[in-house]
């Protein structure tokens, strides 16, 4: 993968890159319209494939807000066509890395020394790169480290980036501001946290302490002496990323055990700690000797007790099958509003009931087979149906608690990981969860 020698830092330069991409989108759309007029073919596949590649290329060069937005959108199939999901998913752990001189500059500013003055060895090429930073491998006195280095200027350009990228995203995905604003706000809030590696270090140490009793689940050690606001150093973890392991020739019994460990990790954090790892993509997990390692706590989310109770109450069969109780639960979560007219309420109840039934199905059977492709076909069909539903898109999407956006996406991301492992697992909610 070709390395970047610089990241555009100034607002004008970044705006110019995004504007150029906007022009490319317009050219692609003109080609689509011309072909449609000549052939009558309404298939947008070529348009979406070309535009997805060009947009991701720009976002990956800019890093930060645009690339984080791509990563988040790639985990929500309700909003964007499949071509963008596939292309944007690269943002999770394979973004183009920066060259070594830029890494040296960050070390000098943050820790006062060059990498080779702190470590015995330090890879000049990154071993992985994502939206916020890239990882290098280092060694010192027999200890191997993973050193995460933040891209320069990411925190400073965050707000201006999002203001510039919003119109492009609205045009590209035919979204209005009401649909996109929750994602823009989420990107801004999470990026402000994720760019503070001191905060990540503090959270990581806390969550590891509260989760290290879980079976088959491990966490790297952290090294504050080699860390700062823009550099985070931890123990190097061998093994393979979770998606690679899922495609390996490991036995199904071993994959099943890893999947259960991952599920139990999320189960513990969501239902016991009310604070959870909110970024379930395979680049954040490794498997070594058929055991799970959790690599990154950069994106975490806490849950208010009332929201938690209201949210999981929806999964009670007595509520979901009772229209009055179900609508009351939706009002409690802010998913239905007092300003909604009768037709809007009826429409939203129908959509939310189908959504909740799909989301809650794994919890209500004790064990659930995520290897059943029919379930994911249902999820995909529902996502596509709601994405294309013009009546639904005309209703306000600025509704509900922001926690729900994260929790829904986290669960569906977790479901996809379970599916990749073909796992049949124990998914029952804890006894204290308000589902019985």
Q: What are the start-end ranges of the H helices in 40-176?
A: 45-62, 64-74, 82-88, 100-111, 115-118, 158-173
State the Cα–Cα distance between residues 170 and 158, nearest whole angstrom: 18
pTM across the whole model:
0.77
Kindly state the percentage of the chain with pLDDT values over 90: 38
pLDDT attached to residue 23: 46
Instruction: Provide the pairing of β-strand 143-150 with 231-235.
Output: antiparallel
Would the pLDDT of 331 be above 80? Answer: yes
Q: Between the ranges 71-80, 91-100, 182-191, 355-364, where is the mean pLDDT highest?
A: 355-364
Kindly state the percentage of the chain with pLDDT values over 70: 71
Q: What is the mean pLDDT of residues 148-164?
A: 75
pLDDT in tens, 219-253: 999 999 999 999 999 999 999 999 999 999 999 99
Task: Give 397's pLDDT tier (boundaries 50, 70, 90).
Answer: low
Query: What tokens does 52 get?
Result: 């997805």
Would the pLDDT of 435 be above 50? Answer: no
Query: What tokens does 389 get?
Result: 């539903």
User: Which of 101, 90, 107, 119 lies closest to 3 in space, CA to CA?
Assistant: 101
Query: What tokens does 347 get?
Result: 């429409």
User: Which of 323, 284, 329 lies closest to 146 in space, CA to CA?
Assistant: 284
Answer with the residue of higher pLDDT: 205 or 80.
205
Window from 17-26, 57-66, 105-114, 354-363 with minimum mean pLDDT: 17-26
Task: Give 18's pLDDT tier (boundaries 50, 70, 90).
Answer: low
Query: What tokens does 421 get?
Result: 């492992």
pLDDT attached to residue 32: 47
The full DSSP string for 129-146 is E-SSEEEEEEEETTEEEE
Q: What is the mean pLDDT of residues 404-412?
A: 81
Dihedral over alpha carbons 231, 237, 238, 242 (to 10 degrees): -100
Would the pLDDT of 160 be above 80? Answer: no
Coil/strand/helix, residue 145: strand
pLDDT attached to residue 436: 38
Task: Give 42's pLDDT tier (boundaries 50, 70, 90).
Answer: low
Question: Domain spanning 100-150+196-301 has what CATH number?
Answer: 1.10.510.10
Q: What is the mean pLDDT of residues 44-58?
A: 72
Average pLDDT, the chain: 81
Each domain of the chain, given as residue ranges in start order, spans: 11-95+155-194, 100-150+196-301, 303-426
CA atoms within 13 A on the CB side of 141: 1
Packed helices 342-360 and 402-420: angle between N→C axes, nearest 10 degrees: 40
pLDDT in tens, 278-299: 888 888 899 999 999 998 887 7
Q: Give Cβ neighbours of residue 381 (< 8 Å, ≥ 6 apart).
A: none
State the Cα–Cα distance between residues 154 and 58, nearest whole angstrom: 15
Answer with the residue of higher pLDDT: 54 or 371.
371
Window from 110-119, 170-179, 180-189, 258-267 with minimum mean pLDDT: 170-179
Distances (CA, A) of 373 to 85, 272, 282, 418: 19, 30, 19, 11
User: Tell me, what DSSP letter sits at residue 273?
Assistant: I
State the Cα–Cα distance between residues 195 and 203, nearest whole angstrom: 13
Q: Evaluate whether 99 touches 5 at the Cβ level (below 8 Å).
A: yes
């Amino acid at each position: 993968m070709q390395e970047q020698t610089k990241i555009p830092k100034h607002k004008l330069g970044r705006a110019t890159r995004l504007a150029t991409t906007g022009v490319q989108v317009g050219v692609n759309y003109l080609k689509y319209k011309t072909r449609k007029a000549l052939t009558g073919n309404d298939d947008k596949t070529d348009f979406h494939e070309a535009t997805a590649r060009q947009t991701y290329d720009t976002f990956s060069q800019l890093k930060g807000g645009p690339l984080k937005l791509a990563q988040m959108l790639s985990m929500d199939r309700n909003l964007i066509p499949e071509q963008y999901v596939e292309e944007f998913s690269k943002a999770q752990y394979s973004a183009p890395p920066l060259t070594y001189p830029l890494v040296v500059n960050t070390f000098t500013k943050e820790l006062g020394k060059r990498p080779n003055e702190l470590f015995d060895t330090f890879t000049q090429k990154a071993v992985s790169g994502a939206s916020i930073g890239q990882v290098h491998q280092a060694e010192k006195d027999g200890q191997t480290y993973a050193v995460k280095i933040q891209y320069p200027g990411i925190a400073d350009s965050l707000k201006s980036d999002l203001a510039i990228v919003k119109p492009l995203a609205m045009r590209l995905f035919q979204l209005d501001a009401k649909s996109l604003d929750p994602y823009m706000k989420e990107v801004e809030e999470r990026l402000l946290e994720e760019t503070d590696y001191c905060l990540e270090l503090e959270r990581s140490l806390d969550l590891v302490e509260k989760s290290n009793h879980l079976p088959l689940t491990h966490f790297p050690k952290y090294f504050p002496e080699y860390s700062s606001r823009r550099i985070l150093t931890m123990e190097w973890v061998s093994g393979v990323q979770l998606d690679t392991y899922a495609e390996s020739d490991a036995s199904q019994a071993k994959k099943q055990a890893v999947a259960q460990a991952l599920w139990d990790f999320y189960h513990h954090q969501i239902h016991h700690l009310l604070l959870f790892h909110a970024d379930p993509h395979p680049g954040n997990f490794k498997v070594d000797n058929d055991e799970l390692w959790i690599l990154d706590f950069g994106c975490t989310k806490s849950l208010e007790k009332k929201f938690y109770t209201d949210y999981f109450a929806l999964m009670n069969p007595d509520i979901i099958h009772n229209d009055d109780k179900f609508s009351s639960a939706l009002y409690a979560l802010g998913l239905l509003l007092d300003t909604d007219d009768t037709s809007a309420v009826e429409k939203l109840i129908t959509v939310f009931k189908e959504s909740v039934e799909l989301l809650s199905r794994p919890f209500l059977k004790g064990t659930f087979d995520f290897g059943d492709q029919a379930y994911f076909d249902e999820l995909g069909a529902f996502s596509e149906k709601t994405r294309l539903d013009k009546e639904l898109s005309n209703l306000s999407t600025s509704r509900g608690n922001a926690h729900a956006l994260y929790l829904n996406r986290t669960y569906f991301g977790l479901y996809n990981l379970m599916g990749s492992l073909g796992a049949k697992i124990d998914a029952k909610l804890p006894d204290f969860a308000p589902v019985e």
